């Protein structure tokens, strides 16, 4: 896993974000070879968790104006962020 993705997950952990990695990186973590161009993260869509997500993303380097807490409480919702060559997809529901 890209070290920058790990840095984001460490921030989520430090901020006590309720999340689970899904998609390609989850498949890789279970021992199946696969390529992926992004990381997909499923978030618990509660107001408390949304606050923690925003804090983690700001600490990661995103500007708070790029999103708001309501983005992470609406279901279903899909937000895609990029930073340099990293792609981060945040979901509030799997479909």
Predicted confidence (pLDDT) per residue in 16-53, tens digit: 999 999 976 776 676 777 767 788 999 999 999 999 99
Domains of the chain: residue spans and CATH:
3-91 (3.30.460)
- The CA dihedral of 20, 21, 26, 29, to the nearest 10 degrees, is -80
Taking the C-alpha atoms of residue 70 and residue 74, their distance in angstroms, rounded to an integer, is: 6
Q: What is the mean pLDDT of the chain?
A: 87
Q: What is the pTM of this model?
A: 0.85
Predicted confidence (pLDDT) per residue in 52-62, tens digit: 999 999 999 88
From the centroid of its chain, how far is CA 90?
4
């Amino acid at each position: 896993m890209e070290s920058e993705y790990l840095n984001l997950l460490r921030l989520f952990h430090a901020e006590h974000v309720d999340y689970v990695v899904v998609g390609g990186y989850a498949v890789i973590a279970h021992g199946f070879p696969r390529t992926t161009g992004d990381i997909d993260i499923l978030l618990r869509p509660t107001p408390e968790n949304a606050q923690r997500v925003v804090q983690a993303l700001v600490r990661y380097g995103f500007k708070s104006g790029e999103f708001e807490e309501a983005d992470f409480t609406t279901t279903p919702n899909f937000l895609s962020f990029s930073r340099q060559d990293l792609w981060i997809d945040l979901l509030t529901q799997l479909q």
